[in-house]
Structure 1
Amino acid sequence: MPTSVRLDTELEKRLDLLAEKTGRTKAYYLREIIERGIAEMEDYYLAADVLERVRKGQEKTHSAAKVRKELGLDD
């Protein structure tokens, strides 16, 4: 799926230089950056969403003591 991204001048220069020096395309590096960074972004933003639901009382929580007891870790 084609997608457009606007980069600031300095960032585009860095990407151009990297592509030029390595013989790879800018598109290659943009895909790499996205693939490597998407998991981190998902972790952060999805966790923030869960945290907000917890704060609003919309998400079930369990105390550490209860979890340890149920898992038999307090023995």
Structure 2
Amino acid sequence: MLALRLPPDIEKRLDDLARRTGRTKSYYAREALIEHLDDLEDIYLAQQRVEENGPRISLDDMIEKYGLGRDDET
């Protein structure tokens, strides 16, 4: 079970959408979570990785090191 406190403007939009479509507010809340949970997890993981200590390499250094993007080599 999950209870959400939404800003009044979002609550109104959700109420209006549910009323116009004949679906429940829970249906749309569930759909939004399913749709965006992967993105939120990816963002959290990326932030976690940035905060970890470790060597970093710039894009320019990667291109130079691995010869990426060079049209003159086959």
Calculate the TM-score normalised by the size of structure 2: 0.73
| Identity across the alignment (%) | 39
RMSD value, Cα: 2.1
Q: Which 4+ runs in 1 deviate beyond 2 A?
A: 60-66
Aligned to 2:2: 3
Note the alpha carbon deviations across 1:6-44, whole angstroms, 9 max, x for none. Answer: 001110000000000000000000000001111111111
Aligned to 1:42: 41
Return 5+ residue gaps in structure 2 as ranges: none
Measured after TM superposition, the shift of residue 47 of structure 1 is: 0.7
> Which structure 2 residues correspond to residues 16-35 of structure 1 after superposition, within 5 A?
16-35=15-34
Calculate the TM-score normalised by the size of structure 1: 0.72
Return 5+ residue gaps in structure 1 as ranges: 69-73
Counterpart-to-counterpart distance in 2, 1:12 and 1:41 = 21
